[in-house]
């Protein structure tokens, strides 16, 4: 009996070997499934910190369909940055926020299963400040862009777009931090281009102006390429409240003056009634009737325009908006003068009226001499206690703000009869 049972058990084992059972006893399928559940971790993950970005490289994982890329700051949580194809073994991070330790991680994905993360940690520099654009000028069939130095920047990238297009990087390699201008010799006449600048540092990039500076390739007039004895130019923006207010560029002597700027006037002559316009004030002398006022065209409040006022030796005064001449006037009392004072001015008409006149990128020419690097001294002629002139940013950014509310006028006074009491005035010397 014992011998028979032993034979029967041996027969069952032999049969099972020939005819494997299905389901949970499928010894052949089990090990294969376990192998599929394990996805190899990407190997040799490297992070290289460049000017303005971090480049990741890793070794290809066999059979990977794609990779997940992550980043975390310090001990924070991972944020998924990208998904790339399984044939890709590098990726560039151009969005690093900068300043501090950041950990990058890469996971391989195969048949819907995700591997463990391979990590690498890098220390990034402080994010550079957004570059402040200075000017975009057209001369000799080229556009020249200039900007101010950006804190923490180690290099700059230049982007250009043609009218109606998108910004495209035009510098193949970053410009050195000491370079604060870029000249584009590839532009075509009568086409319109916009430029913007991005500062970069180790691993990070600054924000940048989404609009940039825009110019059409027709001759753009500026202090450098416009003949004059005296000139003053600036980016000017006007805001305010009440019946009237303005922001002006001024050239004057003790007895005569010329000014050009932006003015809102509730009581202006038609068609400028309750409108904003570019205005010229030509004061030939202090005698009654020797003052002429004219408007060259409509303007907008809260919009920045590049204005320029020039005076030639013969007393011809010319007015420019965004590099285009919009008018001229003759003031013989400004002819052959060697001591013309150049000013900026913000004024409002009546008690309770307010003005906010912003001037930036202020540039000056005196006696035919222009020095782009000179930092002019300023003198505050403001007498109205409600209007204040702020020159704190003039030395660093060549910017001045004049703003406030008029007060202290008698009932019969306004900006015509009490000019000094309604104005904020900064003179350069």
Say which CATH number the domain at 257 has: 2.60.120.200
**Boundary-marking domain end, from 216, 244, 271:** 216
Residue 156 lies in domain: 133-216
Do both 197 and 334 map to the same domain? no
* pLDDT above 90 (res 140): no
The DSSP code for 332 is G
Task: Name the 3-class secondary structure at 34.
Answer: helix
Whether 23 shows a pLDDT value over 50: the answer reads: no
Q: Are residues 118 and 138 in the same domain?
A: no
What confidence category does residue 10 fall into, taking pLDDT thresholds of 50, 70 and 90? very low
Give phi and psi for 266, each to the nearest 5.
-60, -30
Max avg pLDDT among 28-37, 116-125, 186-195, 261-270: 261-270
| Per-residue pLDDT at 46 | 93
Residue 8: the pLDDT is 43
In this predicted structure, the answer to whether residue 47 has a pLDDT above a threshold of 50 is yes
Residue 18 domain flag: no
What's the pLDDT tens digit per position in 352-397? 999 999 999 999 999 999 887 777 899 998 888 899 999 999 988 8
**Residue at 399 is within a domain:** yes
Residue 6: half-sphere exposure toward Cβ, Cα within 13 Å: 3
Report how far apart the first and last C-alpha atoms of the chain are (Å, whole number).
Answer: 126
Residue 123 has pLDDT above 50, yes or no: yes
pLDDT of 409 reads 93
pLDDT on residue 219: 75
Domain membership flag for residue 37: no
Does 25 reside within a domain?
no
Say what the pLDDT of residue 204 is: 85
Lowest model confidence (mean pLDDT) among 69-73, 80-84, 163-167: 163-167
Residue 306 has pLDDT above 90, yes or no: yes
CATH number at residue 77: 2.60.40.10
Q: Which of 68, 98, 124 is the last residue of a domain?
A: 124
pLDDT-above-70 percentage for the chain:
91
pLDDT of res. 249:
98
Q: DSSP assignment, residue 129?
A: P
- Is 280 found in the same domain as 418? yes
357 vs 407: CA distance, rounded Å: 17
* Predicted local confidence at residue 311, as pLDDT: 98
Cα–Cα nearest to 84, from 58, 46, 48: 58
Rounded to 5, what percent of the chain is helix, strand, coil? Answer: 10, 50, 40
91 and 140 housed in the same domain = no
pTM confidence score: 0.55
228 pLDDT above the threshold of 70:
yes
Is 163 found in the same domain as 118?
no
Same domain, 190 and 312: no
Give me the sheet containing 43-50, strands edge to edge. Answer: 43-50, 53-59, 90-93
* Rounded distance between C-alpha atoms, residue 309 and residue 279, angstroms: 12
Compute the average pLDDT of residues 239-265: 97
Q: Which residues contact 217 (CB under 8 A, 6 or more apart)?
A: 138, 141, 143, 187, 188, 189, 190, 191, 192, 193
Residues 373 and 390 in one domain: yes
Identify the CA nearest to 334 among candidates 318, 320, 313, 319.
313
30 three-state secondary structure: helix
Other C-beta atoms closer than 10 Å to the C-beta of 359 total 27
Residue 297 sits in the same domain as residue 176? no
The pLDDT of residue 37 is 56
pLDDT at 214 over 50: yes
Q: State the DSSP string of 301-331.
A: TT--EEEEEEE-TTSEEEEEETTEEEEEEE-
- Answer yes or no: are the C-beta atoms of 114 and 78 closer than 8 Å: no
Picking from 160, 186, 216, the residue at the C-terminal end of a domain is 216
Q: Is the pLDDT higher at 21 or at 46?
A: 46
Does 107 map to a domain?
Answer: yes
In a domain, residue 6? The reply is no
Q: Considering the domain boundaries, does residue 16 fall inside one?
A: no
Q: How far apart are CA 278 and CA 356, in angstroms?
A: 16
Q: Are residues 65 and 120 in the same domain?
A: yes
pLDDT at residue 139 greater than cutoff 90:
no
Do 210 and 235 fall within a single domain? Answer: no
Domains identified in the chain, total number:
3
Return d(Cα 256, Cα 344) in angstroms, integer.
16
Average pLDDT, the chain: 88
Query: Distance between CA atoms of 196 and 162, rounded to whole angstroms?
Result: 12
Report residue 95 as tokens: 């969005």
The answer to whether residue 26 scores a pLDDT higher than 70 is no
Residue 179: other Cβ atoms inside 10 A: 13
- Mean of pLDDT values over 239-264: 97
- pLDDT exceeds cutoff 70 at 295: yes
Same domain, 281 and 311: yes
Instruction: Give the model confidence (pLDDT) of 153-196 as tens digits.
Output: 999 999 999 988 999 999 988 999 999 999 999 999 889 999 99
Same structural domain for residues 192 and 259? Answer: no
> For 310-346, how does the pLDDT look when each residue is reduced to its tens digit (9 = 90+)?
999 999 999 999 988 999 999 999 999 999 999 999 9
Flag whether 10 is in a domain: no
Number of residues assigned to the chain: 429
Q: What integer pLDDT is reported at residue 20 of this predicted model?
A: 43
> What is the distance of C-alpha 379 from the center of its chain?
30
What is the tally of helices (H) and strands (E) in the chain? 3, 32
């Amino acid at each position: 009996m014992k011998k028979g049972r032993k034979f029967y058990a041996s027969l069952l084992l032999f049969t099972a070997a020939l005819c494997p059972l299905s389901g949970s006893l499928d010894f052949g399928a089990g090990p294969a499934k376990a192998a599929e559940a394990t996805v190899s971790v990407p190997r040799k993950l490297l992070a290289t910190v460049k000017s303005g970005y971090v480049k990741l490289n890793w070794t290809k994982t066999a059979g990977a369909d794609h990779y997940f890329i992550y980043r975390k700051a310090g001990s924070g949580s991972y944020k998924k940055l990208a998904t790339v194809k399984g044939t890709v073994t590098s990726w560039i991070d151009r969005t690093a926020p900068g300043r501090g330790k950041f950990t990058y991680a890469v996971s391989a994905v195969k048949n819907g299963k995700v591997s463990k993360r391979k990590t690498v940690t890098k220390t990034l520099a402080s994010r550079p400040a957004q570059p402040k654009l200075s000017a975009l000028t057209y001369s000799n069939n080229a556009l020249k862009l200039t900007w101010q130095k950006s804190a923490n920047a180690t290099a700059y990238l230049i982007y250009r777009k043609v009218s109606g297009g998108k910004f495209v990087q035009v510098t193949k390699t970053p410009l050195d931090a000491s370079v604060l201008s870029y000249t584009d010799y590839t532009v075509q006449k009568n086409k319109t281009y916009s430029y913007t600048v991005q500062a970069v540092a180790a691993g990070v990039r600054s924000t940048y102006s989404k609009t940039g500076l825009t110019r059409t390739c027709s001759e753009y007039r500026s202090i450098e390429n416009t003949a004059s004895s005296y000139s003053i130019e600036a980016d000017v923006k006007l805001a305010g409240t009440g019946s009237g207010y303005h922001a002006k560029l001024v050239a004057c002597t003790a007895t005569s003056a010329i000014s050009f700027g932006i003015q809102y006037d509730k009581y202006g002559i038609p068609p400028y009634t309750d409108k904003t316009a570019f205005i010229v004030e030509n004061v030939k002398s202090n005698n009654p009737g020797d003052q002429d006022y004219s408007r060259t065209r409509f303007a907008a409040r809260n919009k920045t325009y590049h204005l320029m006022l020039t005076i030639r030796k013969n007393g011809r005064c010319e007015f420019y908006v965004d590099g285009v001449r919009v008018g001229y006037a003759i003031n013989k009392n400004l002819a052959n003068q060697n001591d013309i004072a150049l000013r900026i001015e913000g004024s409002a008409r009546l008690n309770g009226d307010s003005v906010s006149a912003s001037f930036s990128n202020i540039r000056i020419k005196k006696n035919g001499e222009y020095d782009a690097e000179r930092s002019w001294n300023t003198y505050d002629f403001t007498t109205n206690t409600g209007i204040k002139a702020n020159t704190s940013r003039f030395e660093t950014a060549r910017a001045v703000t004049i703003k406030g509310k008029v007060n202290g006028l008698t009932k019969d006074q306004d900006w015509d009869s009490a000019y000094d009491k309604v104005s904020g005035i900064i003179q350069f010397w």
